[in-house]
A and B are shown apart, each in its own frame.
Chain A
Protein backbone atom coordinates (compact mmCIF):
# COMPACT_ATOMS: atom_id res chain seq x y z
CA UNK A 1 0.00 0.00 0.00
CA UNK A 2 1.35 3.40 -0.90
CA UNK A 3 1.33 5.67 2.09
CA UNK A 4 0.70 9.33 1.34
CA UNK A 5 2.99 11.93 2.79
CA UNK A 6 0.41 13.21 5.17
CA UNK A 7 -0.73 9.77 6.25
CA UNK A 8 2.89 8.98 6.98
CA UNK A 9 3.17 12.17 8.96
CA UNK A 10 0.19 11.21 10.98
CA UNK A 11 1.41 7.71 11.67
CA UNK A 12 4.89 8.97 12.51
CA UNK A 13 3.66 11.68 14.82
CA UNK A 14 1.21 9.47 16.56
CA UNK A 15 3.57 6.51 16.71
CA UNK A 16 6.45 8.38 18.31
CA UNK A 17 4.13 9.98 20.78
CA UNK A 18 2.72 6.65 21.83
CA UNK A 19 6.03 4.79 21.74
CA UNK A 20 7.51 7.35 24.09
CA UNK A 21 4.80 7.15 26.65
CA UNK A 22 3.10 3.76 26.48
CA UNK A 23 -0.59 3.00 26.95
CA UNK A 24 -0.96 5.81 29.48
CA UNK A 25 0.47 8.12 26.86
CA UNK A 26 -2.07 6.91 24.35
CA UNK A 27 -4.84 7.89 26.73
CA UNK A 28 -3.30 11.32 27.23
CA UNK A 29 -2.70 11.82 23.52
CA UNK A 30 -6.26 10.97 22.59
CA UNK A 31 -7.91 12.72 25.54
CA UNK A 32 -10.98 14.66 24.45
CA UNK A 33 -12.45 17.47 26.50
CA UNK A 34 -16.20 17.27 27.08
CA UNK A 35 -18.49 19.25 24.80
CA UNK A 36 -18.69 22.96 25.74
CA UNK A 37 -21.82 23.97 27.70
CA UNK A 38 -24.94 24.24 25.56
CA UNK A 39 -27.77 26.76 25.77
CA UNK A 40 -31.30 25.46 26.48
CA UNK A 41 -33.05 23.85 23.50
CA UNK A 42 -35.89 26.36 23.74
CA UNK A 43 -36.50 29.70 25.45
CA UNK A 44 -39.35 30.45 27.88
CA UNK A 45 -41.68 31.06 24.94
CA UNK A 46 -40.85 27.74 23.32
CA UNK A 47 -38.74 29.16 20.50
CA UNK A 48 -36.09 26.72 19.26
CA UNK A 49 -32.45 27.68 19.66
CA UNK A 50 -30.31 28.65 16.66
CA UNK A 51 -26.56 28.21 17.12
CA UNK A 52 -23.65 29.02 14.83
CA UNK A 53 -21.31 26.40 13.33
CA UNK A 54 -18.71 26.61 16.08
CA UNK A 55 -21.32 26.86 18.84
CA UNK A 56 -20.33 30.18 20.45
CA UNK A 57 -23.31 32.25 19.19
CA UNK A 58 -26.97 31.51 19.70
CA UNK A 59 -30.41 33.05 19.77
CA UNK A 60 -34.10 32.12 19.86
CA UNK A 61 -35.78 33.55 16.74
CA UNK A 62 -39.54 34.06 17.04
CA UNK A 63 -39.96 33.39 13.30
CA UNK A 64 -38.01 31.25 10.85
CA UNK A 65 -38.90 31.97 7.23
CA UNK A 66 -37.69 30.75 3.85
CA UNK A 67 -39.04 32.91 0.99
CA UNK A 68 -39.02 31.51 -2.53
CA UNK A 69 -39.15 34.78 -4.52
CA UNK A 70 -38.02 38.41 -4.40
CA UNK A 71 -41.64 39.48 -3.87
CA UNK A 72 -42.06 37.15 -0.91
CA UNK A 73 -38.72 38.29 0.49
CA UNK A 74 -39.79 41.91 0.12
CA UNK A 75 -43.01 41.32 2.09
CA UNK A 76 -41.08 39.59 4.86
CA UNK A 77 -38.55 42.40 5.10
CA UNK A 78 -41.37 44.92 5.33
CA UNK A 79 -43.62 43.16 7.81
CA UNK A 80 -41.93 40.29 9.72
CA UNK A 81 -40.74 40.75 13.32
CA UNK A 82 -37.39 42.62 13.48
CA UNK A 83 -34.48 42.24 13.63
CA UNK A 84 -34.54 40.30 10.37
CA UNK A 85 -31.31 38.43 9.83
CA UNK A 86 -30.41 36.02 7.05
CA UNK A 87 -28.37 32.90 7.72
CA UNK A 88 -26.56 30.54 5.37
CA UNK A 89 -24.31 27.93 6.92
CA UNK A 90 -23.79 29.89 10.16
CA UNK A 91 -20.03 29.95 9.71
CA UNK A 92 -19.57 33.47 11.11
CA UNK A 93 -17.93 33.63 14.52
CA UNK A 94 -19.17 37.17 15.13
CA UNK A 95 -22.85 37.57 16.14
CA UNK A 96 -24.05 38.69 12.71
CA UNK A 97 -26.97 36.28 12.71
CA UNK A 98 -28.46 36.07 16.23
CA UNK A 99 -31.94 37.56 16.40
CA UNK A 100 -35.00 37.21 18.58
CA UNK A 101 -37.01 38.44 15.60
CA UNK A 102 -36.93 36.75 12.19
CA UNK A 103 -34.32 34.27 11.00
CA UNK A 104 -34.31 34.12 7.24
CA UNK A 105 -33.06 31.25 5.09
CA UNK A 106 -32.46 31.69 1.36
CA UNK A 107 -32.38 27.93 0.77
CA UNK A 108 -35.48 28.32 -1.45
CA UNK A 109 -33.72 31.00 -3.46
CA UNK A 110 -30.79 28.96 -4.71
CA UNK A 111 -29.34 27.82 -8.01
CA UNK A 112 -27.92 29.02 -11.30
CA UNK A 113 -30.36 31.34 -13.09
CA UNK A 114 -28.56 31.70 -16.43
CA UNK A 115 -25.20 31.89 -18.18
CA UNK A 116 -24.38 35.13 -20.02
CA UNK A 117 -21.14 34.57 -21.93
CA UNK A 118 -18.32 34.68 -19.36
CA UNK A 119 -20.74 35.70 -16.61
CA UNK A 120 -23.38 33.81 -14.69
CA UNK A 121 -26.41 34.92 -12.71
CA UNK A 122 -26.75 32.99 -9.45
CA UNK A 123 -29.30 33.18 -6.63
CA UNK A 124 -27.76 34.16 -3.32
CA UNK A 125 -28.99 31.11 -1.38
CA UNK A 126 -26.76 28.82 -3.47
CA UNK A 127 -24.22 26.95 -1.35
CA UNK A 128 -20.68 27.29 -2.66
CA UNK A 129 -20.42 23.50 -2.71
CA UNK A 130 -23.31 23.40 -5.19
CA UNK A 131 -22.05 26.31 -7.29
CA UNK A 132 -18.93 24.48 -8.51
CA UNK A 133 -20.70 21.56 -10.20
CA UNK A 134 -23.45 23.86 -11.53
CA UNK A 135 -20.87 26.06 -13.26
CA UNK A 136 -18.82 23.07 -14.41
CA UNK A 137 -21.85 21.71 -16.27
CA UNK A 138 -21.56 24.85 -18.45
CA UNK A 139 -17.77 24.64 -18.74
CA UNK A 140 -17.30 27.53 -16.31
CA UNK A 141 -15.66 27.93 -12.90
CA UNK A 142 -15.03 30.45 -10.15
CA UNK A 143 -11.43 31.66 -10.34
CA UNK A 144 -11.17 31.40 -6.60
CA UNK A 145 -13.01 29.81 -3.70
CA UNK A 146 -12.72 30.01 0.08
CA UNK A 147 -11.42 27.24 2.28
CA UNK A 148 -14.83 25.85 3.21
CA UNK A 149 -17.58 25.08 0.70
CA UNK A 150 -20.64 24.99 2.96
CA UNK A 151 -21.38 28.72 3.00
CA UNK A 152 -24.17 30.30 1.01
CA UNK A 153 -23.08 32.69 -1.74
CA UNK A 154 -25.01 35.51 -0.04
CA UNK A 155 -23.28 34.94 3.29
CA UNK A 156 -19.87 34.71 1.68
CA UNK A 157 -20.40 38.02 -0.14
CA UNK A 158 -21.85 39.78 2.91
CA UNK A 159 -18.71 39.03 4.95
CA UNK A 160 -16.09 39.48 2.18
CA UNK A 161 -15.15 35.81 2.22
CA UNK A 162 -12.13 35.07 0.05
CA UNK A 163 -9.70 32.51 -1.26
CA UNK A 164 -6.03 33.05 -2.04
CA UNK A 165 -4.02 34.29 -5.03
CA UNK A 166 -2.02 37.45 -5.63
CA UNK A 167 -4.01 38.34 -8.72
CA UNK A 168 -7.37 36.98 -7.55
CA UNK A 169 -9.89 39.13 -5.68
CA UNK A 170 -12.32 37.89 -3.02
CA UNK A 171 -15.63 36.52 -4.27
CA UNK A 172 -17.35 39.92 -4.09
CA UNK A 173 -14.59 41.25 -6.37
CA UNK A 174 -16.00 39.06 -9.16
CA UNK A 175 -19.54 40.44 -8.79
CA UNK A 176 -20.58 42.60 -11.75
CA UNK A 177 -24.18 43.18 -10.75
CA UNK A 178 -26.59 42.35 -7.95
CA UNK A 179 -30.22 42.49 -6.87
CA UNK A 180 -31.00 43.89 -3.45
CA UNK A 181 -34.33 43.51 -1.67
CA UNK A 182 -34.54 46.43 0.75
CA UNK A 183 -35.98 46.61 4.27
CA UNK A 184 -38.78 48.70 2.74
CA UNK A 185 -39.66 45.81 0.44
CA UNK A 186 -38.27 47.28 -2.78
CA UNK A 187 -36.39 45.18 -5.34
CA UNK A 188 -33.42 47.13 -6.72
CA UNK A 189 -30.93 46.06 -9.40
CA UNK A 190 -27.53 47.68 -9.46
CA UNK A 191 -24.16 47.44 -11.18
CA UNK A 192 -21.21 49.68 -12.09
CA UNK A 193 -23.43 51.96 -14.20
CA UNK A 194 -26.85 51.67 -12.57
CA UNK A 195 -27.20 52.68 -8.89
CA UNK A 196 -23.41 52.61 -8.66
CA UNK A 197 -23.15 53.78 -5.05
CA UNK A 198 -25.54 51.06 -3.95
CA UNK A 199 -23.53 48.53 -5.96
CA UNK A 200 -20.27 49.59 -4.32
CA UNK A 201 -21.87 49.49 -0.88
CA UNK A 202 -23.94 46.32 -1.21
CA UNK A 203 -21.22 43.98 -2.45
CA UNK A 204 -19.97 43.71 1.15
CA UNK A 205 -22.74 44.85 3.45
CA UNK A 206 -23.35 42.38 6.32
CA UNK A 207 -27.06 42.21 5.50
CA UNK A 208 -27.34 45.80 6.72
CA UNK A 209 -28.82 47.28 3.53
CA UNK A 210 -31.37 44.52 3.00
CA UNK A 211 -30.91 41.10 1.45
CA UNK A 212 -28.91 40.45 -1.72
CA UNK A 213 -31.08 37.91 -3.53
CA UNK A 214 -29.04 37.27 -6.67
CA UNK A 215 -25.74 38.30 -8.24
CA UNK A 216 -23.98 38.30 -11.59
CA UNK A 217 -20.48 36.83 -11.36
CA UNK A 218 -17.45 36.79 -13.63
CA UNK A 219 -16.30 33.24 -14.29
CA UNK A 220 -13.38 31.56 -16.08
CA UNK A 221 -13.12 28.42 -18.24
CA UNK A 222 -13.27 25.31 -16.08
CA UNK A 223 -9.68 24.06 -16.44
CA UNK A 224 -8.03 21.40 -14.33
CA UNK A 225 -5.76 22.54 -11.51
CA UNK A 226 -2.59 20.87 -10.31
CA UNK A 227 -2.51 20.82 -6.51
CA UNK A 228 0.70 20.35 -4.49
CA UNK A 229 0.90 20.12 -0.70
CA UNK A 230 4.20 19.82 1.14
CA UNK A 231 5.85 20.48 4.49
CA UNK A 232 9.08 22.40 4.96
CA UNK A 233 10.86 24.44 7.61
CA UNK A 234 8.90 27.51 8.65
CA UNK A 235 11.86 29.82 8.00
CA UNK A 236 12.30 28.43 4.48
CA UNK A 237 8.63 29.07 3.77
CA UNK A 238 8.91 32.66 5.00
CA UNK A 239 11.90 33.20 2.73
CA UNK A 240 10.09 31.83 -0.33
CA UNK A 241 6.50 32.91 0.26
CA UNK A 242 6.58 36.13 -1.79
CA UNK A 243 8.14 34.34 -4.75
CA UNK A 244 5.45 31.66 -4.52
CA UNK A 245 2.67 34.23 -4.46
CA UNK A 246 4.20 35.67 -7.62
CA UNK A 247 4.63 32.30 -9.30
CA UNK A 248 1.42 30.41 -8.56
CA UNK A 249 -2.20 31.07 -9.40
CA UNK A 250 -3.24 30.13 -5.88
CA UNK A 251 -0.72 29.86 -3.07
CA UNK A 252 -1.23 29.68 0.68
CA UNK A 253 0.60 28.24 3.60
CA UNK A 254 -0.10 27.14 7.13
CA UNK A 255 2.39 27.98 9.85
CA UNK A 256 2.27 25.07 12.31
CA UNK A 257 3.08 26.44 15.78
CA UNK A 258 5.26 24.32 18.07
CA UNK A 259 6.76 22.40 15.12
CA UNK A 260 9.03 24.86 13.29
CA UNK A 261 7.24 23.77 10.12
CA UNK A 262 4.85 25.14 7.52
CA UNK A 263 2.49 23.33 5.15
CA UNK A 264 2.49 24.85 1.66
CA UNK A 265 -0.31 24.53 -0.90
CA UNK A 266 -0.21 25.61 -4.55
CA UNK A 267 -2.80 25.34 -7.33
CA UNK A 268 -1.92 26.01 -10.98
CA UNK A 269 -3.82 25.49 -14.22
CA UNK A 270 -2.80 22.39 -16.15
CA UNK A 271 -3.75 20.29 -19.16
CA UNK A 272 -2.94 17.09 -17.24
CA UNK A 273 -5.61 14.42 -16.86
CA UNK A 274 -7.41 14.19 -13.50
CA UNK A 275 -5.66 12.51 -10.59
CA UNK A 276 -8.24 12.82 -7.79
CA UNK A 277 -7.17 14.03 -4.41
CA UNK A 278 -8.20 11.02 -2.36
CA UNK A 279 -9.79 10.97 1.07
CA UNK A 280 -9.54 14.01 3.32
CA UNK A 281 -6.64 13.61 5.80
CA UNK A 282 -6.51 17.08 7.37
CA UNK A 283 -8.55 15.86 10.34
CA UNK A 284 -6.02 13.11 11.01
CA UNK A 285 -3.17 15.63 10.82
CA UNK A 286 -5.01 17.78 13.38
CA UNK A 287 -5.53 14.74 15.61
CA UNK A 288 -1.78 14.07 15.52
CA UNK A 289 -1.03 17.72 16.37
CA UNK A 290 -3.54 17.57 19.22
CA UNK A 291 -1.94 14.37 20.48
CA UNK A 292 1.49 16.03 20.47
CA UNK A 293 0.00 18.99 22.33
CA UNK A 294 -1.60 16.73 24.92
CA UNK A 295 1.61 14.79 25.50
CA UNK A 296 4.30 17.46 25.28
CA UNK A 297 2.46 20.72 25.95
CA UNK A 298 4.30 20.95 29.28
CA UNK A 299 7.49 22.02 27.44
CA UNK A 300 7.54 24.03 24.24
CA UNK A 301 11.17 23.08 23.59
CA UNK A 302 10.50 19.35 23.93
CA UNK A 303 7.28 19.53 21.94
CA UNK A 304 8.89 21.49 19.14
CA UNK A 305 11.89 19.17 18.87
CA UNK A 306 9.80 16.00 18.84
CA UNK A 307 7.12 17.38 16.54
CA UNK A 308 9.64 18.68 14.03
CA UNK A 309 11.58 15.43 13.99
CA UNK A 310 8.69 13.03 13.67
CA UNK A 311 6.77 15.07 11.14
CA UNK A 312 9.82 15.50 8.89
CA UNK A 313 10.59 11.78 9.01
CA UNK A 314 7.87 11.22 6.44
CA UNK A 315 8.65 10.81 2.76
CA UNK A 316 9.93 14.06 1.19
CA UNK A 317 7.60 13.84 -1.81
CA UNK A 318 4.77 16.36 -2.04
CA UNK A 319 1.17 15.21 -2.08
CA UNK A 320 -0.21 15.95 -5.56
CA UNK A 321 -3.57 15.91 -7.29
CA UNK A 322 -5.11 17.12 -10.55
CA UNK A 323 -8.80 17.92 -10.76
CA UNK A 324 -11.36 20.66 -11.39
CA UNK A 325 -10.86 23.71 -9.17
CA UNK A 326 -14.11 23.38 -7.25
CA UNK A 327 -13.02 19.91 -6.11
CA UNK A 328 -9.63 21.13 -4.88
CA UNK A 329 -9.79 24.74 -3.70
CA UNK A 330 -12.42 24.20 -1.00
CA UNK A 331 -12.17 21.41 1.50
CA UNK A 332 -14.34 19.63 4.02
CA UNK A 333 -13.80 20.93 7.53
CA UNK A 334 -15.24 18.26 9.82
CA UNK A 335 -13.29 19.54 12.83
CA UNK A 336 -15.00 22.60 14.29
CA UNK A 337 -13.03 25.62 15.50
CA UNK A 338 -13.22 29.30 16.38
CA UNK A 339 -11.15 31.74 14.37
CA UNK A 340 -9.71 35.24 14.32
CA UNK A 341 -8.62 36.52 10.92
CA UNK A 342 -7.27 39.94 10.01
CA UNK A 343 -6.23 41.25 6.62
CA UNK A 344 -3.03 43.27 6.86
CA UNK A 345 -1.31 45.21 4.06
CA UNK A 346 0.54 42.61 1.98
CA UNK A 347 3.97 43.98 2.89
CA UNK A 348 3.19 43.55 6.60
CA UNK A 349 1.94 39.98 6.43
CA UNK A 350 5.07 37.95 7.13
CA UNK A 351 6.37 40.28 9.83
CA UNK A 352 3.02 40.16 11.61
CA UNK A 353 2.95 36.38 11.29
CA UNK A 354 6.34 36.05 12.99
CA UNK A 355 5.04 38.05 15.92
CA UNK A 356 1.84 36.02 16.16
CA UNK A 357 3.67 32.68 16.11
CA UNK A 358 6.16 33.91 18.72
CA UNK A 359 3.37 35.14 20.99
CA UNK A 360 1.43 31.90 20.73
CA UNK A 361 4.49 29.72 21.32
CA UNK A 362 5.40 31.83 24.34
CA UNK A 363 1.99 32.18 25.96
CA UNK A 364 -0.50 29.57 24.63
CA UNK A 365 0.78 25.98 24.64
CA UNK A 366 -2.82 24.80 24.34
CA UNK A 367 -2.95 25.92 20.68
CA UNK A 368 -2.34 23.19 18.11
CA UNK A 369 -4.22 24.38 15.00
CA UNK A 370 -2.08 25.68 12.11
CA UNK A 371 -2.25 29.40 11.23
CA UNK A 372 -3.47 30.10 7.69
CA UNK A 373 -1.82 32.68 5.41
CA UNK A 374 -3.46 33.84 2.19
CA UNK A 375 -3.07 36.73 -0.26
CA UNK A 376 -5.98 38.64 -1.79
CA UNK A 377 -6.06 41.11 -4.71
CA UNK A 378 -7.69 44.51 -4.14
CA UNK A 379 -11.22 45.57 -5.10
CA UNK A 380 -13.27 48.72 -4.63
CA UNK A 381 -16.32 47.72 -2.58
CA UNK A 382 -16.71 50.30 0.20
CA UNK A 383 -16.55 47.83 3.09
CA UNK A 384 -14.18 45.39 1.46
CA UNK A 385 -11.18 44.68 3.70
CA UNK A 386 -9.23 44.55 0.41
CA UNK A 387 -10.25 48.07 -0.64
CA UNK A 388 -7.26 50.25 -1.44
CA UNK A 389 -4.58 47.62 -1.98
CA UNK A 390 -3.60 43.96 -1.79
CA UNK A 391 -3.91 42.35 1.62
CA UNK A 392 -2.46 39.32 3.30
CA UNK A 393 -4.70 37.39 5.65
CA UNK A 394 -3.57 35.80 8.90
CA UNK A 395 -6.08 33.38 10.41
CA UNK A 396 -5.57 31.91 13.88
CA UNK A 397 -7.77 28.95 14.82
CA UNK A 398 -8.68 27.37 18.15
CA UNK A 399 -10.31 23.97 18.54
CA UNK A 400 -13.98 24.46 19.37
CA UNK A 401 -13.54 22.86 22.80
CA UNK A 402 -10.55 25.06 23.68
CA UNK A 403 -10.42 28.64 24.98
CA UNK A 404 -10.39 31.32 22.29
CA UNK A 405 -10.84 34.52 24.32
CA UNK A 406 -7.06 34.98 24.55
CA UNK A 407 -7.07 35.91 20.86
CA UNK A 408 -8.46 39.35 21.74
CA UNK A 409 -5.65 40.19 24.16
CA UNK A 410 -2.73 38.36 22.55
CA UNK A 411 -3.25 38.23 18.79
CA UNK A 412 -5.60 41.08 17.87
CA UNK A 413 -3.25 43.86 19.09
CA UNK A 414 -0.46 42.51 16.88
CA UNK A 415 -2.67 42.35 13.82
CA UNK A 416 -4.11 45.81 14.45
CA UNK A 417 -0.66 47.28 14.96
CA UNK A 418 0.20 46.07 11.47
CA UNK A 419 -2.77 47.87 9.96
CA UNK A 420 -5.11 44.88 9.88
CA UNK A 421 -8.79 44.98 9.05
CA UNK A 422 -10.78 42.12 10.58
CA UNK A 423 -12.60 39.56 8.47
CA UNK A 424 -16.23 40.60 8.89
CA UNK A 425 -17.32 37.16 10.02
CA UNK A 426 -14.44 36.34 12.33
CA UNK A 427 -13.51 37.16 15.89
CA UNK A 428 -12.63 40.77 16.60
CA UNK A 429 -13.46 43.42 19.20
CA UNK A 430 -13.74 46.45 16.93
CA UNK A 431 -16.56 49.01 17.19
CA UNK A 432 -17.93 51.79 14.99
CA UNK A 433 -15.13 54.27 15.70
CA UNK A 434 -12.50 51.66 14.85
CA UNK A 435 -14.14 50.78 11.55
CA UNK A 436 -14.53 54.46 10.69
CA UNK A 437 -10.76 54.77 10.92
CA UNK A 438 -10.16 51.74 8.72
CA UNK A 439 -12.59 52.38 5.87
CA UNK A 440 -12.43 55.68 3.87
CA UNK A 441 -16.06 55.28 2.72
CA UNK A 442 -17.43 54.34 6.15
CA UNK A 443 -19.54 57.50 6.51
CA UNK A 444 -20.89 57.13 2.97
CA UNK A 445 -21.87 53.56 3.73
CA UNK A 446 -23.58 54.52 6.96
CA UNK A 447 -25.48 57.36 5.29
CA UNK A 448 -26.69 54.97 2.60
CA UNK A 449 -27.56 52.36 5.22
CA UNK A 450 -29.75 54.84 7.08
CA UNK A 451 -31.46 55.72 3.82
CA UNK A 452 -32.13 52.07 2.96
CA UNK A 453 -33.15 51.01 6.47
CA UNK A 454 -34.33 54.05 8.42
CA UNK A 455 -36.04 51.89 11.01
CA UNK A 456 -33.07 49.61 11.62
CA UNK A 457 -35.18 46.55 10.76
CA UNK A 458 -32.19 44.47 9.68
CA UNK A 459 -29.85 45.47 12.51
CA UNK A 460 -29.37 43.17 15.47
CA UNK A 461 -27.66 44.41 18.64
CA UNK A 462 -24.19 43.51 17.36
CA UNK A 463 -24.66 45.41 14.10
CA UNK A 464 -26.02 48.41 15.98
CA UNK A 465 -22.66 48.46 17.76
CA UNK A 466 -20.79 48.13 14.48
CA UNK A 467 -22.64 51.07 12.94
CA UNK A 468 -22.87 53.16 16.10
CA UNK A 469 -26.67 53.16 16.12
Chain B
Protein backbone atom coordinates (compact mmCIF):
# COMPACT_ATOMS: atom_id res chain seq x y z
CA UNK B 1 0.00 0.00 0.00
CA UNK B 2 2.86 2.33 0.74
CA UNK B 3 4.00 2.08 -2.84
CA UNK B 4 0.48 2.81 -4.09
CA UNK B 5 0.30 6.00 -2.15
CA UNK B 6 3.84 6.97 -3.09
CA UNK B 7 2.86 6.67 -6.73
CA UNK B 8 -0.20 8.78 -6.21
CA UNK B 9 1.49 11.20 -3.83
CA UNK B 10 1.08 14.93 -4.18
CA UNK B 11 2.81 17.84 -2.50
CA UNK B 12 1.73 18.20 1.11
CA UNK B 13 -0.14 21.34 2.08
CA UNK B 14 1.45 23.92 4.36
CA UNK B 15 1.37 22.52 7.86
CA UNK B 16 2.57 25.31 10.06
CA UNK B 17 0.32 28.20 9.01
CA UNK B 18 -3.43 28.42 8.60
CA UNK B 19 -4.78 29.23 5.11
CA UNK B 20 -5.75 32.70 6.36
CA UNK B 21 -2.22 33.30 7.67
CA UNK B 22 -0.73 32.12 4.39
CA UNK B 23 -3.06 34.39 2.42
CA UNK B 24 -2.07 37.39 4.54
CA UNK B 25 1.67 37.03 3.99
CA UNK B 26 3.38 39.54 1.71
CA UNK B 27 6.86 40.98 1.22
CA UNK B 28 7.70 44.04 3.32
CA UNK B 29 8.94 45.93 0.28
CA UNK B 30 6.01 47.58 -1.55
CA UNK B 31 7.35 46.86 -5.05
CA UNK B 32 8.00 43.22 -4.26
CA UNK B 33 4.60 42.96 -2.55
CA UNK B 34 2.94 44.17 -5.74
CA UNK B 35 4.81 41.68 -7.92
CA UNK B 36 4.04 38.91 -5.45
CA UNK B 37 0.33 39.76 -5.43
CA UNK B 38 0.10 39.82 -9.23
CA UNK B 39 2.10 36.67 -9.92
CA UNK B 40 3.46 34.35 -7.21
CA UNK B 41 0.51 34.42 -4.85
CA UNK B 42 -1.93 32.75 -7.26
CA UNK B 43 -0.07 29.45 -6.82
CA UNK B 44 2.31 29.78 -3.85
CA UNK B 45 -0.48 30.78 -1.43
CA UNK B 46 -3.12 28.37 -2.75
CA UNK B 47 -2.91 24.78 -1.44
CA UNK B 48 -3.33 22.11 -4.08
CA UNK B 49 -1.60 23.99 -6.88
CA UNK B 50 1.51 21.84 -6.48
CA UNK B 51 3.63 24.93 -5.81
CA UNK B 52 5.69 25.06 -2.59
CA UNK B 53 3.64 27.21 -0.25
CA UNK B 54 4.95 30.52 0.99
CA UNK B 55 6.97 30.28 4.25
CA UNK B 56 6.49 26.50 4.44
CA UNK B 57 9.89 25.41 5.70
CA UNK B 58 9.22 21.74 5.04
CA UNK B 59 8.62 22.42 1.36
CA UNK B 60 11.28 25.06 0.91
CA UNK B 61 14.31 23.79 2.79
CA UNK B 62 15.26 21.07 0.31
CA UNK B 63 14.78 23.50 -2.56
CA UNK B 64 16.80 26.20 -0.82
CA UNK B 65 19.75 23.80 -0.59
CA UNK B 66 19.99 23.84 -4.40
CA UNK B 67 21.40 27.36 -4.16
CA UNK B 68 20.48 30.79 -5.49
CA UNK B 69 21.61 30.24 -9.06
CA UNK B 70 19.68 27.02 -9.55
CA UNK B 71 16.49 28.44 -8.04
CA UNK B 72 16.79 31.61 -10.11
CA UNK B 73 17.30 29.58 -13.26
CA UNK B 74 14.27 27.42 -12.45
CA UNK B 75 12.14 30.52 -11.97
CA UNK B 76 13.25 32.27 -15.16
CA UNK B 77 13.23 29.21 -17.44
CA UNK B 78 10.49 27.18 -15.75
CA UNK B 79 10.87 23.84 -14.01
CA UNK B 80 8.32 21.05 -13.59
CA UNK B 81 5.05 22.79 -12.61
CA UNK B 82 6.71 26.20 -12.26
CA UNK B 83 5.97 28.27 -15.36
CA UNK B 84 8.84 30.31 -16.79
CA UNK B 85 9.14 33.72 -15.22
CA UNK B 86 6.50 32.88 -12.66
CA UNK B 87 4.05 34.67 -14.96
CA UNK B 88 5.67 37.97 -14.03
CA UNK B 89 6.50 39.70 -17.30
CA UNK B 90 8.22 42.69 -15.74
CA UNK B 91 10.25 41.02 -12.97
CA UNK B 92 14.03 41.50 -13.09
CA UNK B 93 16.53 38.88 -11.87
CA UNK B 94 16.88 40.89 -8.66
CA UNK B 95 13.10 40.91 -8.20
CA UNK B 96 13.06 37.14 -8.63
CA UNK B 97 15.87 36.69 -6.10
CA UNK B 98 14.02 38.80 -3.55
CA UNK B 99 10.75 36.96 -4.17
CA UNK B 100 12.45 33.55 -3.81
CA UNK B 101 13.95 34.69 -0.49
CA UNK B 102 10.53 35.85 0.67
CA UNK B 103 8.76 32.66 -0.41
CA UNK B 104 11.37 30.51 1.34
CA UNK B 105 11.27 32.76 4.40
CA UNK B 106 15.00 33.43 4.14
CA UNK B 107 14.87 37.22 4.14
Contact = CB atoms under 8 A, between A and B. Distances in A.
Interface of A: 7, 10-11, 14-15, 17-18, 23, 26, 29-30, 35, 38-39, 41, 48-53, 55, 58, 64-66, 87, 89-90, 103-105, 107, 110, 127, 129, 150, 279-280, 283-284, 287-288, 291, 332, 334-336
A71 B8 CA distance: 51
A50 B7 contact: no
B85 A90 contact: yes
B87 A64 contact: no
Given A65-B90, A107-B38, A127-B42, A14 B77 contact: no
Contacts of A89: 83, 87
B51 A334 contact: yes
A43 to B, nearest CB: 13
B77 A41 contact: yes
Nearest to B48: A280
Contacts, number: 109
A49 B87 contact: no
A351 B5 CA distance: 38
**Is the contact region of chain A dominated by helix, strand, or loop, or is it mixed?**
mixed
Contacts of B78: 38, 51, 55, 336
A52 B8 contact: no
Interface string B42-83: 110011111100000000000000000000010011111101
Contacts of B4: 11, 14-15, 18
A90 B84 contact: yes
B30 interface: no
Interface of B: 1, 3-8, 10, 13, 38-39, 42-43, 46-51, 73, 76-81, 83-85, 87-90, 92-93
Contact of A18 (B3, B48, B51): B3
A291 B7 contact: yes
Contacts of A15: 1, 4
B89 A64 contact: yes
A336 B83 contact: yes
A272 B92 CA distance: 47
7 contacts: A10-B8, A15-B4, A48-B93, A55-B78, A58-B84, A280-B49, A332-B48
A334 B81 contact: yes
Given A107-B90, A127-B42, A336-B81, A279 B47 contact: yes
Nearest to A284: B8
Contacts of B87: 53, 89-90, 150
- Most chain-A CB neighbours within 10 Å: which of B50, B79, B92? B50
A204 B47 CA distance: 34
A346 B6 CA distance: 42
Contacts of A48: 76, 92-93
Q: Closest 5 CB pairs between A and B?
A: A334-B50, A51-B84, A14-B7, A105-B89, A280-B48
A55 to B, nearest CB: 5
Contacts of A65: 90
Contacts of A103: 89-90
Given A18-B3, A90-B87, A280-B48, 19 more contacts: A11-B5, A15-B1, A15-B4, A26-B6, A49-B84, A51-B85, A55-B78, A55-B84, A105-B89, A107-B90, A127-B42, A283-B10, A283-B50, A284-B8, A332-B43, A334-B43, A334-B49, A336-B78, A336-B83
Nearest to A7: B8
Nearest to B72: A41
B76 A49 contact: yes
